[in-house]
Amino acid sequence: MPTALITGANRGLGYEFTRQLRERGWRVHACCRLPDRARALKALAAETEDAAGEVLRHRLDVTNGLQLAALGRELADESIDLLINNAGIFGPRGGFGKIAYEDWLQVFNVNTLAPMHVAETFAPHLARAEWPKLVNISSRLGSIAENERSGAHIYRSSKAALNMVTKCLSIDLKERGIVVAALNPGWVSTDMGGKDAPTSARDSVAGLLGVIDGLGEEDCGGFYSYDGTSLPW
């Protein structure tokens, strides 16, 4: 059974990734900060009437190095086909003149440092799979080339830095056969995206899984949208 590990799997895009991969028959290590309170995820993990897939819940605050190391050890014998670095925060929206400097580092911790740390922790598990893939959920707002309006400096810079981390990882992990890419989910109706967002989590994730399916060696180190188009850094 193919196996995925997803961070921030209790709600939004992370939950939807978990749901759709399970539906496809995958075994999913669904990681979240408070697994005992993750009601939807609990219900998904308990569903047994169709035999497709399996959901295993794990406690993981992606900024907690001790939890990360413990989970790496707990899954030491596992082979992971797909790692989705999904957990993220938007942080304060203020632009020029209204920057919340005191919050900037925390957004970097979650959106940039943690995906790198998660990748380092699970690279050995990925390397055991036949066609391993690692995707970082980035954002169009992290594209320097596409920034024409400024604003959301903190979030934008954290995702632009995540894009660089992605490119580095694609080189770091190439020898181990791990394909690494940054993905933009679109503007999606989740707690982060808000109710006005034009794309549902269902459609975004269906698109993203299609993109992930199609990722080959030649796509390693790229930045792609959920509709399959390539984005400029």
Which residues bind to ligand NDP, rule: CB under 6 A? Answer: 7-8, 10-14, 32-34, 61-63, 86-89, 110, 137, 139, 185, 187-188, 190-193, 197
Distance (Å, whole) CA 113 – CA 161 = 9
11 vs 24, beta carbon nearer ligand NDP: 11
14 vs 207, beta carbon nearer ligand NDP: 14
173 vs 201, beta carbon nearer ligand NDP: 201
CB atoms within 10 A of CB 228: 11
Residue-wise burial string across 47-60, b where 16 or more C-beta atoms lie within 10 A, e elsewhere: eeeeeebebebbeb
62 vs 209, beta carbon nearer ligand NDP: 62
> How far apart are CB 159 and ligand NDP at their closest, in Å?
7
Neighbouring residues of 126: CB distance < 8 A, sequence distance ≥ 6 = 80, 81, 83, 132, 133, 134, 173, 176, 178
> How far apart are CB 51 and ligand NDP at their closest, in Å?
27
* Nearest partner of 149 among 224, 95, 225, 223, judged by Cα: 95
- Please give the structure tokens belonging to residue 120: 């380092």
Give CA torsion, residues 146, 147, 149, 155, to 10 deg: 130
> How far apart are CB 40 and ligand NDP at their closest, in Å?
11
> How far apart are CB 45 and ligand NDP at their closest, in Å?
15
- Please give the structure tokens belonging to residue 169: 């990882």
Distance (Å, whole) CA 137 – CA 86 = 5
80 vs 205, beta carbon nearer ligand NDP: 205
> How far apart are CB 161 and ligand NDP at their closest, in Å?
13
* Nearest partner of 70 among 80, 79, 78, 60, judged by Cα: 60
> How far apart are CB 53 and ligand NDP at their closest, in Å?
20
74 vs 131, beta carbon nearer ligand NDP: 74
